[in-house]
Chains A and B, each alone.
Chain A
Amino acid sequence: MGSGRMRVFLLIMVLLAGCGTMDDLNPSGSDKRPPEQPGTTGPAVGQNAPDFTLSDTLGNNVTLSSVILTTQGVVLYFAMEWCPICEGNLDSLRSSVIPAFPNVRFYVIDYTCASVAEAYAWELATGYTGSGFTVLADTQQSVLNLYQATMGSTVVIDKNGVVQMNENYKDGTRLQAILASLP
């Protein structure tokens, strides 16, 4: 093996090591959650949930601030259409979470649809009609941006309008724990 070629190989390795600014190469388990900021409005835990109005798949407007008055809490799940991860999460939500919390309202935010009709078609095709959650059409991705959400983001808002959780669904265990702790 030529020493020149070995140097090329080592150079590539060094360049890769230079990618060490990426956290995945040396992941941290430190708790870096910022301190809560009660009284402010925003998507973080402890903040007042930003209000919004979206249409459900039947064309009815749903306003968060109005829904909160009638429930123990609200769950928002952000879903892409035709996404296997979301489908798995929603199956779990339907089977394990929704039946255990009858006083909580569950909304699935479809942030990839262009129209209410499209969201309705997706709801029908996936069999989500009447499954315990309401699909809302976020055609402008305004709620997605308000909550700094992405695929699988799950937000819990208590009856006082305060965000109690804003993170990935994973297997729903943490969601159930948060919901169980709601006053």
Chain B
Amino acid sequence: MNKFIFIVICVALFTGAACFLSLRAFAGSCCGGGGGAALVLPTIYQSMVDVSFDSEKYVGYWSPQGQYVYAPVGYQYRLNAGYALRLAQYWQASISVPYVWNNNQYSNGSTRSSGIGDTTLNLWYEALEDESAWKIRSMEDLTPSVMIGPSILIPTGISPYDNKPSSYDITGRGFYRFDGNVLITKTLHPWTASVSLAYGTYLQRPVNREYGKYVEPYEKKLGDRSSASVSLGYIYYIGSAGDTLTGTVSLSTLREENATINGKSQPDSGFQKDSYGATIAYSSTDSDWTIRVSCNNAIKSDGWGKNFPATNIYTIGVSYGFR
């Protein structure tokens, strides 16, 4: 295989792995999560199918004041189906749909519910391409891969405003959200690093029902959301066939401002969650398969979150690229 193509493949696959790690960290939560994540299509593929399974364990919460409180009371499981498609040389689109199972356990009983979660549609533009050098010989070798693009979260999940009577049934948030996303990746073999940033705003919507009961209508808007993730990875080459094993560690933060009702800010409705993660991805360049396992754990200490469930997410996923 041409060495240049080989390098491009490695970088592209790793970029995908890094993105899965950084973005899926916020795929959902025990109190109304279930959003899908954006896929990134490696350079050599025209399309890609991705399937993953998340097990998210609720391990407590951060109080509105930022104090971590341990409380093991529930699980959420998600089966995520994603499809990415290359639209043009530098443009790609993807869709990701989760199916969510909630399993809440309390001292006096447990509940189980399931349903489709919120769907993510994503558009990426590949603004800069990383040449993925093995050694820095010129300034061009320092050029990172830069991808930018919008995404939209579609409220296909079960929200508090649907005709469901219990908070246990929730699989989505009930609001459309538009995000702007930036993904910067730089590879100097065998090391690679990435930064992903996103800022999103929800659309205001009318609400006339809460947990199945009709109420006096009002207008609600969730607060703007920002997230950032940094990751560092090492690519280990297996044999001479081009297979790779990539290990990545990451640090992520997510913040959402207070919601508003009829234009009035709702105190303590915003939240913050900080987490760390690790991923191991095996890529077989000949067979176009990538398999990955990852974890993303809340930083279970005071000050690393606010008004939000603390969860540990374990993911196993597989993707297949079509050339």
Contact = CB atoms under 8 A, between A and B. Distances in A.
A112 B174 contact: no
A24 B63 contact: no
Contacts of A16: 95, 97, 119, 154, 156
Interface string B139-160: 0000000000000001111111
Most chain B CB inside 10 Å of its own CB: which residue of A19, A148, A150: A150
A55 B167 CA distance: 24
A29 B308 contact: no
A180 to B, nearest CB: 16
A1 B85 contact: yes
A24 B167 contact: no
Interface string B82-101: 01011110000101010000
Contact of B216 (A33, A82, A150): A33
B174 A24 contact: yes
A29 B31 contact: no
A81 B64 contact: no
A153 interface: yes
Contacts of A5: 46-47, 85, 322
Interface residues of A, number: 54
Interface string B27-62: 000010000000000000011000000000000111
A178 to B, nearest CB: 11
A8 to B, nearest CB: 7
Given A23-B162, A81-B106, A82-B60, A167 B95 contact: no
Contacts, number: 160
A88 B307 contact: yes
Given A22-B156, A29-B217, A167-B213, A2 B46 contact: yes
Interface stretch (A56-64, A97-105, A128-136, A168-176): A168-176
A32 to B, nearest CB: 4
B261 A12 contact: no
Interface in A1-40: 1-2, 5-6, 8-9, 12-13, 16, 19, 22-25, 27-34
Interface residues of B, number: 67
B206 A34 contact: no
B161 A24 contact: yes
A29 B211 contact: no
Contact of A88 (B93, B106, B213, B268): B268
A82 B61 contact: yes
B73 interface: yes
B216 A153 contact: no
B214 A32 contact: yes
Contacts of B87: 1
Given A139-B108, A171-B267, A24 B309 contact: no
B108 A113 contact: yes
Given A24-B172, A88-B64, A167-B215, A112 B106 contact: yes
B112 interface: no
A85 B31 CA distance: 9
A92 interface: yes
Nearest to A114: B107
Contact of A170 (B116, B162, B175, B266): B266
A138 to B, nearest CB: 9
Contacts of B73: 81-82, 112
A168 B95 contact: no
**Cβ-closest 4 pairs across A and B:** A29-B206, A82-B71, A114-B107, A88-B268
Interface of B: 31, 46-47, 60-64, 69, 71, 73, 83, 85-88, 93, 95, 97, 106-109, 116, 119, 154-163, 165-168, 172, 174-175, 205-217, 219, 261, 264, 266-269, 271, 307-309, 322
30 contacts: A1-B46, A1-B87, A13-B95, A16-B95, A16-B97, A16-B119, A19-B156, A23-B161, A24-B156, A24-B159, A25-B156, A27-B174, A27-B208, A28-B208, A30-B217, A32-B208, A33-B215, A44-B213, A81-B73, A82-B69, A84-B63, A87-B64, A88-B307, A148-B213, A150-B166, A150-B167, A151-B167, A152-B167, A171-B261, A171-B264
Interface of A: 1-2, 5-6, 8-9, 12-13, 16, 19, 22-25, 27-34, 44, 80-85, 87-88, 91-92, 111-115, 118, 139-141, 148, 150-153, 166-168, 170-171, 173-174
